[in-house]
Structure 1
Amino acid sequence: MAEPVVLMATMVAEPGQEELVEKTLTAALAAVHAEPGCLRYALHRKAGTTGEFVVIEKWASQEALGAHTKGAAMREVGTALARALAAPPDMVFLDAIPVGDPDAGAV
């Protein structure tokens, strides 16, 4: 059985592009949630900011994540945000440390 993949993607909007970034990411959510292997794809904004966005993702496998990154929803997001982000998304992959309640202690 494949191991789930958990990551945190942080995106910073260029000044004046905050609304475009939020609307683009929000519009993609339904399509991403429907992708095979999507276990979690949750959009957040860094507290106290208007233009720093964080997506917490969990995929059933590396293959599912790979398909997601090459899929239609991410192609559309990439095209829409090509000039709206201050830098490429910062992707941080996480390894779970299974302790305590499996539901409360892991993403």
Structure 2
Amino acid sequence: MTDPVVLVATMVAKPGQEELVEKTLAAALPKVHAEPGCLRYALHRKAGTTGEFVMIEKWASQEALGAHMKGAAMREVGAALAQALAGPPDMVFLDAISAGDPDAGAV
């Protein structure tokens, strides 16, 4: 059995592009939630900002994440946001540390 993959992706909108970025990412959520292996795909905004978006993701496997990254939803997001982001997404992969309650202590 493979371990789930947890990823935090941060995207910063160019000034004036905040609404486009938010709407595009929000519209992709139902499509991504239906992808095989998607365990969590949750959009957030950094508190106190209008243009810094954080996606908290959990995938059943590296293979599921790889398929997601190459999938139709991400192609659509990439095309829509190609000129709207200040730079490429900052992607941070996390390794869980098993401690405490397994449900409360892990994403």
Query: TM range, normalised to the smaller chain?
Result: over 0.9
Cα distance, 1:71 vs structure 2: 0.2
Pairwise CA RMSD: 0.3
2:63 matches 1:63: yes
- What is the total number of aligned residue pairs between the two structures? 107
Partner letter of residue 105 of structure 1?
Answer: G
Q: Hey, what does 1:40 align to over in structure 2?
A: 40
Provide, for residues 15-68 of structure 1, a one-character-per-residue CA deviation record: whole Å limited to 9, x for no partner: 000000000000000000000000000000000000000000000000000000
Cα distance, 1:2 vs structure 2: 1.1
Unaligned runs of 5+ in 2: none
In the aligned structure 1, how far is the partner of 2:39 from the partner of 2:50?
A: 27
Percent identity between the two aligned chains: 87
Q: Scaled by the length of structure 2, what TM-score is found? A: 1.00
Provide, for residues 48-100 of structure 1, a one-character-per-residue CA deviation record: whole Å limited to 9, x for no partner: 00000000000000000000000000000000000000000000000000110
Partner letter of residue 49 of structure 2?
Answer: T
Q: Scaled by the length of structure 1, what TM-score is found? A: 1.00
